[in-house]
Amino acid sequence: MTTEELKGLKVAKSVDARGTACPGPLLEAKKAIGTINVGDVMEVLSADEGTKIDIPKWCTKQGHEFLGSIDENGYFKVYLRKK
């Protein structure tokens, strides 16, 4: 997805994991994914560079659809759809 498309997504849940380092963001994503419905989009905010690589791998394993990420100033947003 392009950045514009990602920005236009309806986000069901936003997880702010900017305060934690690896594997914090992943643990927070795991906890939050249980609270949303299948088909919903979740956004994970992280300042940990590794998360950008880790989340897609987590999605592949768990069967969720990784949609892409947007770089912000000093952090980034990762988008995925629950399957």
Partner 1 sequence: MEKLGEISMEKLLAELETLKAQTSRMENSRKDQLSIAIVSGDMDKILAGMIISLAAAAMDTQVKLFFSFWALAALRDPKKKAKGKDFISKMFGFMLPKGRNKLKLSRLNMCGMGPMMIKSLMKKQGVMSLDEMFKEAAELGIEITVCEMSMHLMGFKKEEMIDYPNLRFAGATTFVADAGESSMQWFI
Q: How far is the CB of 80 from partner 1 (least distance, A)?
A: 14
Query: What φ, ψ does residue 31 adopt, rounded to 5°?
Result: -65, -40
Assess whether 22 carries a catalytic annotation: yes
Tell me the CA distances in angstroms from 20 to 8, 26, 41, 56, 78, one per residue in order: 27, 10, 22, 18, 15
Contact characters 14-53, partner 1, x per CB under 8 A: -----xxxxxx-xx-xx----------------xx-----
Tell me how far, at minimum, the Cβ of 57 lies from partner 1, in Å.
8
Catalytic positions: 22
